[in-house]
Amino acid sequence: MEKSNSRLSQRQVAYALTSFLLGVWTWKKVNAVSGPLFEPVIAACTNPDIPLEDFASTTGYHVYDPRVGLKVFDLLVCIITQFLLELRETYPAGILTWGAIVVVTMPLSILTTAEGGRAGARGPIRYSVIMGLLFQLFGISVIFPMIWLPSFVFGEGKRGSPLTLFRVVMAALFTLPSLILTVTVFVAPTESQLWTTAAGMLGGPILAMFGLVLFRDGSSELAPTEENAKTSSAVIRNTNKMMMVLGFVGWYTLVAIAYRSYGTSIGNLWNDIWVNAGPSVAFMTIDAGVLYLAILMFIAYRHGESKAAKALFLTTILGPATAICFVFIEMENEIELKFAASFPDDKKKD
C-alpha cells in the first residue's frame, strides 16, 4: 500500500510541476511577443494627464469604456480594447486565433465549474470568481496550467460526488456571454459605443463576475446518494453533448474562414498567425496552443495517457472542443460507474 501511495504522490508531483512550468514558460513567452504592443499602450493608459474624452485624439489609441472596468480594472479594459482592435483589423488571422481560444475554452467552463463544486474540493479550484479574474488578468493559458491544474492535482474533490442542477446549468450558460461578445467585437463597427463596451467586457472583469451566482450553491453539501450522483452525472454528460455541437460548429466556421483565405496552404496560414504575426495575433496563437496542451495534460492525469491520445486523434476530425467534450463524456461515464459501485446493492435485501 505504501508503494502504491508513493507512486501516486510521484505522479501528482510530476504532473503538477510540469503543468506549473508550462504556465511559467507561457507567461514569459506571451510577454516577449506582446511587449511591442503592451508597453506603449500601458504608458498611455496610465498617463494621469490625459482625460478620457481626449484619450483617442491625444494618444492615437482607441477610446475605452471605463464603466466595464469597475474602477479597479480600468487599465485592463484600456489594454484589452487596443488588443482586440488589432485582432479585429488583422483579418483573417485575428478572428482565427481569437476564435480558436474561444473554441478550446468551451469544455473548460463545464470542467472548472463542476470540479470546484465537488465535495472535498479545496484550494483555488473552489473559487471561480478569483480564478476567472486571474484568467482575464494574466491569460487563461498562463493561469490554467500554472495554478488551476496543479491546484486540482492536490485539491481534487471526491470523484463522482453529486452537483446541483443549478451549478451544472450555469457551467454551460457561462460560455454564452463570451460567445455573444466575440461575435459583437468581430462584427460591430469599431467606432461604435457597442463595440467599445463589448471589447471592454470581453477582456475585462465583467465575465469573471458571473461566477458570483455560485456563491450560495450547495453542491459540496449535497447528499452523496446514488440517485443524486446519477442525476448530476447525466446532466454533465448532456451539457457536454450540447457543447460538442457548439464546438463543432465554431471550429468548422474557423476552418471555412481559413480555407477561403489560404486554401490548402498551411505555410501561408502559419506565416500569418505566427511567423509574420503582430503582437496580438502571436499572443493568441500561443494562448490557444498552450491551453489545448494543458487540457490534454489534465485528461492524461485524470484518466491516463491513452485518453489524452484519443482526444488528440479526434481533434483532427472533430475539432478541439468536440473531441475534448467527447472524452469528457467517456470519463464521466467511468467515474459514475465507480462512484455508484461504492453504494450497497439494496436489491439483494429484497
- Say if 56 falls within a structural domain: no
Number of domain units in the chain: 1
C-alpha dihedral sign at 76, 82, 88, 90: negative
What is the residue range of 140's domain? 12-32+91-342
d(CA 194, CA 41): 22
The pLDDT score that the predictor gives to residue 8 is: 63
Has residue 152 got a pLDDT over 60?
A: yes
The pLDDT score that the predictor gives to residue 1 is: 40
Grid coordinates representing 114? 463542476
- Say if 37 falls within a structural domain: no
The predicted model gives 59-84 an average pLDDT of 94
The predicted model gives 79-95 an average pLDDT of 96
- Say if 281 falls within a structural domain: yes
The pLDDT score that the predictor gives to residue 31 is: 92
Closest CA to 128 of 165, 82, 174, 75: 174
1 vs 138, which has greater pLDDT?
138
The predicted model gives 67-83 an average pLDDT of 93
- Say if 212 falls within a structural domain: yes
- Say if 350 falls within a structural domain: no
d(CA 127, CA 290): 23
> Percent of the chain scored above 90 by pLDDT?
77
Grid coordinates representing 308? 489524452
pLDDT in tens, 93-120: 999 999 999 999 999 999 999 999 999 9
Has residue 337 got a pLDDT over 80?
A: no
Give residue 341's pLDDT band: very low, low, confident or very high (50, 70, 90).
low
Has residue 342 got a pLDDT over 70?
A: no
The pLDDT score that the predictor gives to residue 226 is: 81
Has residue 68 got a pLDDT over 50?
A: yes
Has residue 349 got a pLDDT over 70?
A: no
pLDDT in tens, 174-200: 899 999 999 999 999 999 999 999 999
Give residue 218's pLDDT band: very low, low, confident or very high (50, 70, 90).
confident
- Looking at every residue in the chain, the average pLDDT score rounds to 91
pLDDT in tens, 290-311: 999 999 999 999 989 999 999 9
Cβ contact 178:62 at 8 Å: no
Grid coordinates representing 108? 473548460
Has residue 5 got a pLDDT over 60?
A: no
Whole-structure pTM value: 0.92
The pLDDT score that the predictor gives to residue 71 is: 86
Has residue 223 got a pLDDT over 60?
A: yes
The pLDDT score that the predictor gives to residue 264 is: 93
- Say if 85 falls within a structural domain: no
- Say if 222 falls within a structural domain: yes
Range 261-271 burial, b when 16+ CB lie within 10 A, else e: ebeeeeeebee
- Say if 103 falls within a structural domain: yes
